[in-house]
Structure 1
């Protein structure tokens, strides 16, 4: 069964939401600091092969970023100074006249699930991960374990349209959820999902250990840009295509100290636990101003990014979040 069919309603009725909510930490971001056509995991070094992405976290990220240390030298817009990770997703767009422009963000949250089964090891330094399939065009192409879904927060939305988005106006925010691998080989940095599903995970594959599971929760606010709402096909798209191509990327930038502290909370805690470290407390607002580290390279314009991609000689598909090596 493709992950798209793992619906928010199914989560609620099965009780999995309640289980997943036990034992976790969370970091919030109030804004996108950069929209840009780079992807240092899938297309390292390129400023013409990637579709447009929206970035959160450490602004030290460039098309060539490989390590946690590089990110830890930057400024983060995450509300936890110990988390200098970088998180990115394909840019969500709406039509404004003749242009496709980014949909305003309400909030990006990175959850690290701690209560399903205890984590055995910290998220390793230099770990890079992708969740989802950037080349998916139908629900059948999606990665089931990523459990990607789009729904309306606080009601509305109706059934999914042909593109996988809600078919009618959201009462408040449009929300996306996306789950990342939760097992890792500490030597090779290969990642994988545990057997089972959220709320009922089982063992990691042989040779791997459990780490805190990253989950994206992204809320978009369409009310100002689409004040009349919609009925039928949602007037939005991702930079990679329809909702089925939803995916997320992550390069770990948590300090080693705070990453270890995150694991410690998994042994006995069963509710939200702040992960802190020597750089400050969870929830602290950013004290620096994030900015594009390479403002003269690449583009933030969707049409230009599409034009640049048309000249490339590589497949459009990005990495898929199955077992794979992620070491630089």
Structure 2
């Protein structure tokens, strides 16, 4: 897993001299649901997926595979009403007695264009994409271009435990970063990463164009739910396994005007550009509550989700050994 030195390098070296390149972000205060669905990997299924945390538009169901299925009258808990996109990640869990419960999220942020060259085209309508490898159990199995990493925000790096999580108590938040592809073929909607890395990207592969790059930044707050802290193995796991299985999913739901203004923001010479549109301005929230569109389908309970997959969970804290999720005999 990349160390926090990669993140620090963006802020202190290469990225610092490139601050003329603009970016924007959309903040979401918390997931609007935790549920065992994955519209991209297991479309239509309510029993095949591990538990995920969903942010953004509540128009998503297990069968949502295109932007047009996210109706304009749905609600989003994103702090930009022009962004009806759906973002999701495997749920981070902590042990509460004999149960595993979702770790509280302080804030989810979707950054666009941070450390990248200006975009050539908007994010295509109906684009779905993934970042990371949900089946990874070791650093070598991770997708290097996704730069998935975990660290304690603002703390001195104390290294990672055997499962890829911070090896000591976070004084503030445990933070996760994850980069998505920034190139797309507009006809096939195939995506790829540019050559290079954030802060020193190069060209897209042949037949592809550059779109605003998406980066997840998630801040988890363990201070109350793990009040005693830890030293050594972090008392957390992802619903998909250890930290090396970090991954994220995205369905584009930006409005036409918002999407166009997203590209314009990437062209600007200011460090931060607000993306506004006909539904409102950056920072505005909708006068509604984002909720599960199908509350009677699937489950939000981790143990039940494992049972519905007809598999068993590794019982130990963390995931220092391979997560097998073996089928019951």
What is the TM-score when the length of structure 2 is the normalising length?
A: 0.91
Q: Which runs of 5+ in 1 are unaligned?
A: 318-328
Distance 1:20 1:297 in 2: 47
- The answer to whether residue 302 in structure 2 is matched with residue 302 in structure 1 is yes
Deviations 1:210-247 (A, max 9, x none): 00000000000000001110000000000001000000
Distance 1:225 1:156 in 2: 22
Give 1:272 deviation, angstroms: 0.6
Counting only pairs closer than 5 Å after superposition, residues 21-100 of structure 1 correspond to structure 2 as 22-73=21-72, 74-100=74-100
Distance 2:246 2:180 in 1: 12
Distance 1:292 1:20 in 2: 41
Give 1:156 deviation, angstroms: 5.0
1:58·1:72 contact (CA, 8 Å) conserved in 2? no
Distance 1:46 1:146 in 2: 27
Deviations 1:14-39 (A, max 9, x none): 62453676410100000110000000
Distance 1:19 1:182, change over 3 A: farther
Distance 2:211 2:226 in 1: 40
Distance 1:160 1:215 in 2: 22
- The answer to whether residue 258 in structure 2 is matched with residue 262 in structure 1 is no
Q: Which residue of 2 aligns with 1:271?
A: 271
Look up the SS of the partner of 2:308 in the other structure: helix
Distance 1:96 1:20 in 2: 44
Give 1:8 deviation, angstroms: 1.9
Moved more, 155-164 or 102-111: 155-164
Give 1:183 deviation, angstroms: 0.2
Look up the SS of the partner of 2:108 in the other structure: strand
Q: Which residue of 2 aligns with 1:284?
A: 284
Distance 1:298 1:139 in 2: 31
Q: Could you say what the CA RMSD is over the residues aligned between the two structures, in angstroms?
A: 1.7
Distance 1:290 1:268, change over 3 A: closer
Look up the SS of the partner of 1:196 in the other structure: coil
Deviations 1:70-122 (A, max 9, x none): 22431100000000000000000000001000000000000001662110000
Give 1:257 deviation, angstroms: 1.2
Deviations 1:99-153 (A, max 9, x none): 0000000000000016621100000110000000000000000000000000000
2:168·2:232 contact (CA, 8 Å) conserved in 1? yes
1:134·1:245 contact (CA, 8 Å) conserved in 2? yes
2:34·2:300 contact (CA, 8 Å) conserved in 1? yes
Give 1:13 deviation, angstroms: 3.9
Distance 1:290 1:226 in 2: 28
Deviations 1:282-326 (A, max 9, x none): 0012311111000000000000111111269xxx99xxxxxxxxx
What is the TM-score when the length of structure 1 is the normalising length?
A: 0.91
Distance 1:20 1:129, change over 3 A: farther
Give 1:186 deviation, angstroms: 0.6
- The answer to whether residue 2 in structure 2 is matched with residue 11 in structure 1 is no
Q: Which residue of 1 aligns with 2:240?
A: 240
Distance 2:4 2:140 in 1: 18
2:4·2:157 contact (CA, 8 Å) conserved in 1? no
2:56·2:76 contact (CA, 8 Å) conserved in 1? yes
Look up the SS of the partner of 1:244 in the other structure: helix
Q: Which residue of 1 aligns with 2:116?
A: 116
Distance 1:276 1:129, change over 3 A: same
Distance 1:115 1:263, change over 3 A: farther
Deviations 1:246-291 (A, max 9, x none): 0000000000111011111222324110111000000012311111
